[in-house]
Structure 1
Amino acid sequence: MAKGIFISKTLAIAGIVIGVAALSTIIALSVVYAQEKSKNNEASPTQGGGTTSKPTTTPTTPSPSNEPWDKYRLPKTLVPSHYSVTLWPRLTPDPKTGLYIFTGDSFVDFECVEETDLILIHSNKLNYTTQSNGQLAALSAIGGGSAPSITKSWLKEETQFLVLHLDGKLVKGQTYRLDTTFTGELADDLGGFYRSEYIQDGVKKVIATTQMQATDARKSFPCFDEPALKAYFNITLNHAKDTVALSNGAQIEVQQTVFERTEKMSTYLLAFIVSDFGFIEDTIGEVQIRIFARKPAIAAGQGAYALNITGPILKFFEEYYNSTYPLPKSDQIAIPDFSAGAMENWGLITYRETALLYDEAFSSNSNKERIATVIAHELGHMWFGNLVTLRWWNDLWLNEGFASYVEFLGADKAEPDWNIKDLIVLNDVHRVFAVDALTSSHPLSSLEDDIQKPAQISELFDAISYSKGASVIRMLSDFLTEPNVFKLNLVSFIFSGVYQAVNASGDELPTSVKEIMNTWVLQMGFPVVTIDTASGSVSQKHFLLDPDAEVTTPSEYNYVWSVPIRWMKKGGSKSFTWLTEKSATNNDMKVTGDDWVLANLDVVGYYRVNYDDGNWDKLLTTLSNNHEDIPKINRAQLVDDAFNLARAKIIPTVRALKTTLYLKNERDYMAWKSALDNLDFFLLMFDRSEVYGIMQEYLRNQVTPLFQYYKEITSNWTKVPHGHTDQYNQVNAISLACKTGLEECQDLVQSWFKEWMETDKNPIHPNLRSTVYCNAIAAGGAEEWEFAWNKFKAATIPIEADKLRSAMACATKPWLLNRYLEYTLDPQQIRKQDATSTIVYVAQNVVGQSLAWDFIRANWNYIFTQYGGGSFSFANLINGVTKRFSTEFELQQLKQFKEDYADVGFGSGTLAVDQSIERTQANMKWIAENKESILEWFKNPV
């Protein structure tokens, strides 16, 4: 939607002629790019100087309520145009305090657009040096004229403002300059300007690095820290001779490293880093591409894969957006301590080491895929997000959803043999269905007034914004037909969104793109479409996992969506139709005899599908007799839809279980993965009950043919399957076979692990290490765990360390798991970036579930303080630890947890607490209603 995007000048797109789609796309995107580039050239560069002032303690003053500084948003009085920032990070601790600090000075030029006698600028955890005027900042006018004096200055900690009172009004249209000198802590809190540490050749190394998104630029220097307030930045970094400084711009001086002025950009995209890293480089066209990492990692060639694929992906996006990459360089750097997966800083993208570094001897094909998709995701942001930017965070989905969609396109360009575009169904569509089927979900687009506090902003970095955003954009792409018409309509939807559109086949849409998309963007959830093949009736209803849950969130669309339906009949004939009302009749969907209907082909629509009993039976028969008559993505869909329709009490649970009967004949990854994901819910619900044993026996029988198939095609596990997803399915086969007690599998993994322990030579292929490590440690005891721990501590390859870290949570000795949980409180044992995911790994283990829950309750104050309430991982932590909850006792514990720590807060996990309560209630009802019938079915699975 137009209101979700901020650019400086009005875009004249409304008059685009629909019939010339390709040309119009070029024009539309070129206009966006040209306008952004032209406005980025309006100001002249200026440089800032260093600071030698002695820092002083900055006063903070309480203030009465309802004042401008009590609000979290900036007043619309001042607009920044240019910053000059000089920072000096100290990579050794202060001998007196033991703290790592940085000092800095900066100025910002801003225009007054409304008269005011108050300056508010964001600042968090910075101490200011008093200026010659006795205040925390100095104000001057630019281009003649005089500036009012600052009469009072103080910090408002809660809303994170530096507050400056003036003795007169700033003049509308006049430009002013605000100078500050400040000190901050270079803490290890993974936000703002922070430090990361690692050991190299027995020596501790410290780097200074950044993570600004969403609201942490203000921890680095005072700034107007909102995405719409773009400006130019001149960054200067002071640093030691044996270190290298990096920032968004290209380096133009050394030692005191001065960088070229940036493009006009948002504060959250800034980055500056001081390290002694090495790099490799290449040039694509006129763009310098560099991969930075720890010197041993670079020397070992771990940056080569990223370097090799960055160029092709970058060129692909230039063609896709029809605009050249606007910067002279694209630096990518692997940070040892990093809270997110990666961050799209313009010209200096930061990554977790596991998301950028690849080593063939240690990295699995899934590790390689993650690197390709994360790089594509971040490079996709260089245009959509960085060049064209959100006005405010309430429409974050446009930014992250789009990048999450195009990451599959970019990765497909880099690795065309993978058929990776299919995997969006498993990785995003099915993933987010689970969250979006709760009444505690939220729309893609929130009201701007509802998103004010930093913690509220952080909450939006969830599966809805990323995965639902990607799924809905993919659906838009499909019904407009990629690539040209989709790109035209996407641009117009975002920038105007008001015209009637047609697809590439010339078929008129039922209404404007805006109206179609608003039904998906402005209301939470998604529909289940029910097709009665006897009558041709087609209807839709808001799908809820708990059908008895009360939806209290109103919707102007009354939870009716504009649903595009691609469908086929037995024999392969395909059709397309729309459902825009609650119900309609489509006589083409009537079938007789053994004919059947299959809807939502390739799961391009963001909805589930239900059928009449007769059609379900015919589809199940087809799966059993000739499953390849149904496309592979739709085989995965039938399994996933059936299990979730059963959880919602729309179809019997037994019918869902019947979709797994054919799996003994299935060799494709997607259907198996879909089944395992859904059966995982059964395992979570029943691994503490009598259902578990008989369910294990059934699954062991189903997976044994798959296990034997991979044993055969790999020549007794000595070769690697050829296909990308075939390698994934080999892992599925071993993992499920071992977990369900197939003796041959358990002997295999234990023999491999024992050989490693005895010879210190690892015989396990990287693809299989995660599952082999887990199953061997689960079957072993303290000796196996200690061996893994020692290998983890000695690991120099982050990807290998991650495999061991997750596997150690598979232990079955409670004392080992408790000790492991305690290690997450010590950054010397488990890095802060890995602490929350390690706790979740332990909670996934039935032995560790209650241990992890007790642990986070006992240590919530510490976890919340040390890991930061804004941490994007908090929602994953709360959801992960409570996923198995299904009893009244656990529900009451969860409610008590919410009450006990209400004063501490849950930060970005606030919504996850409510989702966990709702999910627990739904789990309790589901078990009460289904346990007996499930137990009987597994006894006689027919």
Structure 2
Amino acid sequence: MCWISSNVPFFSTNNSSSCRRAFYINRANNGTINSTSSVAFSTRSMERGNSGEGSPSICEVVSSSPNASVRVMFRQRPRRFFCSSEVDDGNFIRRNALLITFLNKKFRTIPEDPLIRLPTDVIPIHYELHFKIYLPYKNGIDYGERNFTFDGNLRLHLLCRQTTNVLLLHSKSLEIDYDKATIWMGGGTIRLEGPRIIGWKELAGRNDLLEMRLDRALLPGRNYILELGYKAKIGKNSQEGGLYQSHYLNEANGENRYIAATQMQPLDARKLLPCFDEPSFKAEFSISVQHPDGTVALSNAPIEHTRNVERTFYNYVDIFGVPSLRVAAMENWGLIICRQQNLFYIDGVQARRDKQFVTDVLAHEIAHMAPTGQSQLFYEHTVKAFRFDQVAHQAHALSYKISSVREVARRFDRITYLKAAAVLRMVEHTVGENIFREGLRSFLRNYKFKNARSDDLIRFMDSWTYQTGFPLIQLIALNSTAVIASQVQFFYLQEPSSNPSSWKVPLFINGNTTNNGSEDVIILERDSVILHRYQLASRARLLEDAFTIARTGLISFELAFKMSEYLVEEKEYLPLLVFNNHLQHLLLLLRNHNKSYLIRSFILEMLETQFHRLFSSHFTNNADISDTLREFAMVQLCQWNYPPCIGHSLREFSRVRSACRDRKMSDQKIPPELRGPVYSTAIRHGNIDDFDFLWSKYLIEEYDSERGRILSGLVGTTDIKLVELSLNRFIENIRNTTLIGFNPEDFYAFLLKFVRSPILNDVVDSMKRNFRMFANKIPNTLLMKVILTFITKWMNSESDLAELKEFEIQHKKVLTELRLLDYLHEQITEIRANEDFVNKYAQTIIAYLEKRKDERNLEKQKINKCQPLIN
């Protein structure tokens, strides 16, 4: 076995040419890598201007070994890019990876499902829209039964491309005035009466389609205008999409004020207007809004006219903060909408990591890609992509057949979002930043005002676009001079798949090896940003891969635990975070084992030195990192009842109760990053008065970040009655828009925080008992899905499955109405995988930790025996 190691993170950028080498390598006796003795280069070059538009240029690198099972090749598109074996100054060869292409599968375009796509017989050209908004934005404004509704008038300009007497649009929850709807022929000032609409049919249950049948056909090449009016409700919260209401506190007079905002990604434009709600139907919009006096209308449409009021001009972008939004932010071109808590940073109220997050969100929305150099952010996003895409029943390809509108929304998930970003990052790193950016510019120019298909991307990405999951890469030393790679599809809850699928993978080899005793170590490039699991890389990646691969049985958990022991000296955040995530997962799966305390003891042992180091007055490392580590250490150590941490937290909370008796919690002096663990520890070891004090502060707190910390504190209670009380308070008030503190985003965050509850089993049992009540009071599929996930997530036995079956029988009607029955069935796969994991590894893990504990106790006894006697 050829082990791969690195002592720095894999995700930074390094343009050094010394670390680029061919894949198939020889290992010389002195430990260096000879990258040319076993590789022959052959090239086919298409120079600029010598080929048609879009023709691919290909450089191939073919192994000269007769036993080689791989073909290594460069691929580049479009025409302006070229390759040549003569280029050795780094312009091409140095900046291109070797793509290991396993030639056993062809990828084809996935046919589009005609059942859910609008026909292209008629296409939209221009939407003319007028809205009248009935928004009672403050006290004294009242429209009676029209409160929180809007009227819409649509004039839709159409172009007929093929003869048809049926017009199909998307429409959802819109009350259309069918009697007054008309179609005109002609697109200019002269209009003639067009076909009459003789029949309407709302196909709400099938893709939200509105069907109009005409008395005569629309003719190809003709322009038509559809005119209609409608009215609809403004959504009660951000989860409903379309045009929805939100609210904020006017500090000048203490009044609640309302706003109306839009969120239409991915399928909610149809809630605002009848339209062609698919990306391929591009059109222009003209919008006018009639809104209440005292309010302002903002749009991302181009400005119609301007006048000079300043002599100095600045480039700027409009970003609008709303109190609630179901996503972190939305990159509407010309007017970015951002959840308010993600838009502002206030020193002393928010932690430095909040500042980092605000910066990341804004940079992401402005550039709509991960900011260059944000290595930690990219690493965490990649790990998230791994975690969702490595679970068999959750994983899916980036491009695949969609069978229903519901599936579009369901698949608009973190795998699609994060994996796509990771794959693009991998392509950029493979071909180089300059080439990637020039190719991207060319791609965007070519498809501006159009829609690109996945087939239009470079072929290198086919395997990543059309296949589920990602590969596990294994490097094996054939002999003293050669190494080969193999790959298998990776899912962590089961054995590596025998699925013949394979991926085109760029592997970067560092030009130097190291000798550590008897082991030769070959370093895969430490800056690698490739979306696959190595069987070893940087410290954080080492731990991440070791614990994950241990779940498949390819390596032992004993090895993963031993690799973790160095963490008592670790000074970086990421390795500690990775370690903690995996140990927390193990602890939750084995929480009912009578010796699960051994896992808690191991966590404490690895982290307790962090507490003394990070809270020492002599600690002078980078302030940003130390704050993050301080928070991390406080959260974990207080959670596991580490006495110094508990004492520190209780003293701080006592001071806060005195100082903030008549003030908001955001006014206090505890460092922001430490408030969450202080609150949680105080509530866990406190009484109902402490709980009520913190709850009262939640109700008046204006800062979202501080409200989040208070919620983290409230879930620390060990009294199930207080848990149920707080959940009921949320549920009763989540639709009461007169209370500023309650919104779906807060409730969603509150539910997720219960995974750290010290009485997790009691919380799960309570949610099962009260599931019907939850469904009746919050018929919101997303929130109910979170509750259902919480109930099923850590089930791991036959008795759990029997209990789940009984749960399904009891709540089948509700689950069907919420469209969660299929989701419940999906959880059975994960429960069986959890059960299999416990059966396979629980005893092995516990046995190793017991043995380790005994060995350490024996060592301590020997040390004590050797202590000199003191007279």
Q: Aligned partner of 1:560: which letter?
A: S
SS of the counterpart of 1:247? coil
What displacement does 1:177 show? 0.8
Instruction: Give the Cα separation in 2 of the matches to 1:895 and 1:373.
Output: 43
Closer, same or farther: CA 697–851 of 1 in aligned 2, 3 Å: closer
Pairing partner for 2:532 from 600, 604, 607: 607
Asked if residue 546 in structure 1 is aligned to residue 493 in structure 2, the reply is yes
What displacement does 1:567 show? 3.8
Which residue number corresponds to residue 566 of structure 1? 508
What displacement does 1:529 show? 1.4
| Unmatched segments (≥5 aa) in structure 2 | 1-51, 56-77, 85-90, 92-112, 448-455, 661-666, 856-871
Which residue number corresponds to residue 349 of structure 2? 362
SS of the counterpart of 1:75? coil
Which residue number corresponds to residue 437 of structure 1? 390
Closer, same or farther: CA 811–98 of 1 in aligned 2, 3 Å: farther
Aligned 8 A contact 1:879 1:912 in 2: no
- Kindly provide the CA deviation profile for residues 101-141 of structure 1, in whole angstroms up to 9, marking residues without a partner as x: 111212110101111111122211111235xxx35444443
Alignment of 1:366-765 (within 5 A): 366-381=353-368, 406-409=369-372, 412=373, 420-425=374-379, 427-448=380-401, 450-453=402-405, 455-481=406-432, 483-489=433-439, 514-533=458-477, 535=479, 536-547=483-494, 558-568=500-510, 593-599=518-524, 601-610=526-535, 634-713=538-617, 722-760=622-660, 762-765=668-671
Q: Aligned partner of 1:732: which letter?
A: F
Pairing partner for 2:794 from 872, 884, 896: 884
Aligned 8 A contact 1:112 1:174 in 2: yes
Aligned 8 A contact 1:13 1:495 in 2: no
Closer, same or farther: CA 344–908 of 1 in aligned 2, 3 Å: farther
What displacement does 1:82 show? 0.8
What displacement does 1:457 show? 1.2
Instruction: Give the Cα separation in 1 of the matches to 2:464 and 2:208.
Output: 35
Alignment of 1:138-149 (within 5 A): 138-143=183-188, 146-149=193-196
Which residue number corresponds to residue 336 of structure 1? 323
- Kindly provide the CA deviation profile for residues 836-861 of structure 1, in whole angstroms up to 9, marking residues without a partner as x: 33222224425145534653674468
Instruction: Give the Cα separation in 1 of the matches to 2:237 and 2:558.
Output: 49
Asked if residue 768 in structure 1 is aligned to residue 722 in structure 2, the reply is no
SS of the counterpart of 1:639? helix
What displacement does 1:891 show? 3.1
Which residue number corresponds to residue 123 of structure 2? 79
TM-score, normalising length: structure 2: 0.76
Which residue number corresponds to residue 23 of structure 2? none
Aligned 8 A contact 2:156 2:227 in 1: yes
Asked if residue 230 in structure 1 is aligned to residue 288 in structure 2, the reply is no
Which residue number corresponds to residue 505 of structure 1? none
What displacement does 1:817 show? 0.8
- Kindly provide the CA deviation profile for residues 537-592 of structure 1, in whole angstroms up to 9, marking residues without a partner as x: 432111122335988xxx7xx2211222224487569xxxxxxxxxxxxxxxxx98
Instruction: Give the Cα separation in 2 of the matches to 1:722 and 1:550.
Output: 44
RMSD across aligned positions (CA):
3.5
SS of the counterpart of 1:658? helix
Which residue number corresponds to residue 107 of structure 1? 155
SS of the counterpart of 1:729? helix
What displacement does 1:231 show? 1.0
Closer, same or farther: CA 549–459 of 1 in aligned 2, 3 Å: farther
Pairing partner for 2:80 from 2, 17, 35: 17
Aligned 8 A contact 1:568 1:601 in 2: yes
What displacement does 1:917 show? 2.6
Which residue number corresponds to residue 393 of structure 1? none
Closer, same or farther: CA 846–744 of 1 in aligned 2, 3 Å: closer
Closer, same or farther: CA 653–199 of 1 in aligned 2, 3 Å: same
Instruction: Give the Cα separation in 1 of the matches to 2:544 and 2:311.
Output: 45
Instruction: Give the Cα separation in 2 of the matches to 1:197 and 1:835.
Output: 16
Which residue number corresponds to residue 186 of structure 1? 234
Instruction: Give the Cα separation in 2 of the matches to 1:139 and 1:447.
Output: 39
Aligned 8 A contact 1:839 1:877 in 2: yes
Aligned 8 A contact 2:775 2:784 in 1: no
Q: Aligned partner of 2:195: which letter?
A: P
Closer, same or farther: CA 431–800 of 1 in aligned 2, 3 Å: same
Instruction: Give the Cα separation in 1 of the matches to 2:312 and 2:606.
Output: 50
Closer, same or farther: CA 697–539 of 1 in aligned 2, 3 Å: same
Instruction: Give the Cα separation in 2 of the matches to 1:637 and 1:800.
Output: 32
Which residue number corresponds to residue 217 of structure 2? 169
Pairing partner for 2:713 from 799, 807, 814: 807
Instruction: Give the Cα separation in 1 of the matches to 2:430 and 2:334.
Output: 34
Closer, same or farther: CA 541–910 of 1 in aligned 2, 3 Å: farther
What displacement does 1:474 show? 1.8
Closer, same or farther: CA 125–485 of 1 in aligned 2, 3 Å: same
Q: Aligned partner of 2:117: which letter?
A: R
Closer, same or farther: CA 207–240 of 1 in aligned 2, 3 Å: same
Aligned 8 A contact 1:832 1:867 in 2: no
What displacement does 1:240 show? 2.1
Which residue number corresponds to residue 157 of structure 1? 204
Instruction: Give the Cα separation in 2 of the matches to 1:776 and 1:748.
Output: 10
SS of the counterpart of 2:474? strand
Aligned 8 A contact 1:837 1:877 in 2: no
What displacement does 1:645 show? 0.9
Instruction: Give the Cα separation in 1 of the matches to 2:148 and 2:768.
Output: 29
Aligned 8 A contact 2:187 2:225 in 1: yes
SS of the counterpart of 1:609? coil
Closer, same or farther: CA 437–355 of 1 in aligned 2, 3 Å: same
Aligned 8 A contact 2:477 2:484 in 1: yes
Percent of aligned pairs with the same residue?
23
Instruction: Give the Cα separation in 1 of the matches to 2:523 and 2:786.
Output: 34
Which residue number corresponds to residue 90 of structure 1? 134
Aligned 8 A contact 2:126 2:158 in 1: yes
Asked if residue 847 in structure 1 is aligned to residue 759 in structure 2, the reply is yes
Between stretches 638-647 and 512-521, larger displacement belongs to 512-521
Which residue number corresponds to residue 66 of structure 1? none
Asked if residue 838 in structure 1 is aligned to residue 742 in structure 2, the reply is no
Pairing partner for 2:298 from 229, 237, 246: 246
Instruction: Give the Cα separation in 1 of the matches to 2:650 and 2:312.
Output: 47
Closer, same or farther: CA 146–182 of 1 in aligned 2, 3 Å: closer
TM-score, normalising length: structure 1: 0.70
Structure with higher helix content: 1
SS of the counterpart of 2:228? strand
SS of the counterpart of 2:561? helix
Closer, same or farther: CA 922–72 of 1 in aligned 2, 3 Å: same
Aligned 8 A contact 1:713 1:721 in 2: no
SS of the counterpart of 1:209? strand
Instruction: Give the Cα separation in 1 of the matches to 2:213 and 2:472.
Output: 56
Which residue number corresponds to residue 583 of structure 1? none
Closer, same or farther: CA 926–598 of 1 in aligned 2, 3 Å: farther
Q: Aligned partner of 2:358: which letter?
A: I
Pairing partner for 1:198 from 227, 240, 248: 248
The structure that has the greater radius of gyration is: 2
SS of the counterpart of 2:607? helix
Q: Aligned partner of 2:254: which letter?
A: G
